[in-house]
Amino acid sequence: MIRLENLTKQYGNKTAVANLNLDIPAGRLFAFTGPNGAGKTTTVKMLVGLLKPTSGRVFIKEKNIHNPIDYLTAKKILSYIPDQPFTYDKLSGREFLRFISLIYAVDESTFKREFDKYVMLFEMGEYIDQLIETYSLGMKQRLIISASLLHQPEIIIVDEPLVGLDPASTRLVKELFRKEVRENGRTIFMSTHLLPIAEEIADQIGIINNGQLIAVGTMEELKRQAKREGRLEDIFMSLTQNGLKS
């Protein structure tokens, strides 16, 4: 469903991501983690087509997202939730969701159903008709997550999805992501530095350090690679400090 082949991004003499290879099948929640500056966000931006790789390829359901012929086909089945929610502040929340639905050609009945579902789920009713410029960061994040799901994407790419969310909303988003994977068969690639969240909800976890993928697998597989038991935090520290390679 998601395949990265020798994905590399260089900025002058600095290599942000080096020969990254990943193959994530459909119906998985994959958590991508690493220290600050390890290459997580660079990878995500290449994955969604916002950043062109220096070399290597990104396939979204066998479509090369950096190939102009395949780009729109890949984008139609993809959704991206960035680490900083981007909205149009002079629109209301309702107008913004309508705008996103038009971009993806969501039909009217589907829009109404999905709109009502997410407004209720995220308790946005009292402010959905207010201008977005009045929203808090957490309110904007709830709106962005709702917008990203309106067109019922097959693949959801998320960069730090819990920014600005309170504990109740954090729990809600975790449950929503797991439901999207388990019940709807969606594939989620989630970049996060929150190790307990990754450990709790991910089917597989990848750890990147200094632009290189140093470990990937289930928790049990990561324990074997790190040659130690414990929580993901313990494994993460062991792998990143010792520079072990998978």
Q: What is the pTM of this model?
A: 0.91
**What is the per-residue pLDDT for 209?**
93
- What are the sequence ranges of the domains in the chain? 2-77+154-242, 88-152
Q: How far is CA 128 from the centre of its chain?
A: 24
Considering only the top CATH level, what class is 2-77+154-242?
A: alpha beta
The number of CA neighbours under 13 Å toward the Cβ of 121 is: 19
Residues 6+ apart with CB under 8 A from 31: 190, 191, 192, 197, 198, 201, 202, 204, 205, 206
Model confidence pLDDT, tens digit, residues 140-187:
999 999 999 999 999 999 998 787 788 888 899 999 999 999 999 999
Q: Which of the residue ranges 5-19, 30-44, 159-173, 208-222 would you say has the lowest mean pLDDT?
A: 159-173
Q: Which amino acid is at 152?
A: Q
> How many C-beta atoms surround the C-beta of residue 154 within 10 A?
17
User: Mean pLDDT of all residues in the chain?
Assistant: 92
Contacts of 214 by beta carbon, 8 Å cutoff, 6+ apart = 207, 208, 239, 240, 243, 244, 245, 246
Nearby residues of 125 by Cβ (< 8 Å), 6 or more positions away: 119
pLDDT value for 186: 94
Confidence at residue 242, expressed as pLDDT on a 0 to 100 scale: 59
Q: Would you say how long the chain is, in residues?
A: 246
Amino acid at 87: T
Q: Are 62 and 105 in contact (CB under 8 A)?
A: no
Report the percent of the chain where pLDDT is more than 70.
Answer: 98
Inter-residue contact 55 to 228 (CB < 8 Å):
no
Above 90 in pLDDT, residue 227?
Answer: no
Q: Kindly tell me if the per-residue pLDDT of 200 is higher than 80.
A: yes
Instruction: Report helix, strand or coil for 186.
Output: coil
Q: Which helix (H) or strand (E) holds 80?
A: strand 78-81
Find residue 187's DSSP bridge partners.
155
What pLDDT was estimated at residue 164?
Answer: 76
